[in-house]
Amino acid sequence: MKNTKTVIETTLVLIKPDGVIRKLVGEIISRFERANLDIVGLGIVQPTYQLIDRHYPKDKKWIENLGNNLIKTAEELKLKIDLQKDYGVKDIYSLGLQIRKWLIDFMTSGPIVKIALRGPQAVSVVRKLVGKTVPFMAEPGTIRGDFSIDSPILANLEKRPIKNLVHASGNIDEAKKELRLWFKNKELL
């Protein structure tokens, strides 16, 4: 039988500039507290380009996935995309790089609240509380479902990332990497 400590996880949540500007910090934090997750690290930062550049992956597969997601969304909505004409790029990888730049620009546009949360299966619990990445697809009762209706096509037309209020680590390995990036050891209880 596993030790109970093996199911206790620590994960990262970032309240993005759109959540801070809309004064949703207290509401978002209270959702995690009501789920009985422990706040073991908390702070507000104005992130630098370098910090956000290190936060988002740079591998080819991840970057191409950004571009492919834009194309997939356009196809689902029966919109025709001309990469060169609409985005000034020639391939999916270049489109992904452009989207990654939009992410960095957005994430450095204002303050971010960084939160380290600990509890049983914290990564999965936080992902459920946050809701689907695309806000208009997020279930009511989730943070994104209750407070955002942004859509990928609107974001793509405006050449910006989706404003979905929060970032939550996707898995335990990502959480460990991101926590090291955003918090010093002495900042975590």
SS (H, E, C) 162-187: CCCCEEECCCHHHHHHHHHHHCCHHH
| pLDDT, tens only, 21-41 | 999 999 999 999 999 999 999
Name the packing angle between helices 122-130 and 25-34 (round to 10°). Answer: 130
Provide the 10 A C-beta neighbour count for residue 91: 12
Those residues whose C-beta lies under 8 Å from the C-beta of residue 153, and which sit 6 or more positions away, are 73, 74, 77, 79
Instruction: Let me know how many helices (H) and strands (E) the chain has, helices first.
Output: 9, 4
Is the pLDDT score of 169 beyond 90? yes
The CATH architecture annotation of domain 14-46+114-146+164-184 reads: 2-Layer Sandwich (3.30)
Beta-bridge mates of residue 167:
14
Question: Which range has the worst mean pLDDT, 3-7, 79-83, 160-164?
Answer: 3-7
CA distance 163 to 175: 21
CB 113 within 8 A of CB 43: yes
Ramachandran class of 141: left when φ > 0, alpha when ψ lies in -120 to 50, beta otherwise:
left
Local structure of 39: helix, strand or coil:
strand
- Per the annotation, the verdict on 167 as an active-site residue is yes
| pLDDT, tens only, 61-87 | 999 999 998 888 888 878 888 899 989
Domain ranges of the chain: 14-46+114-146+164-184, 48-109
Q: Which position among 167, 168, 178, 182 bears the catalytic label?
A: 167
**CA of 130: how far to CAs of 54, 83, 107, 114, 163, in Å?**
23, 32, 18, 15, 13
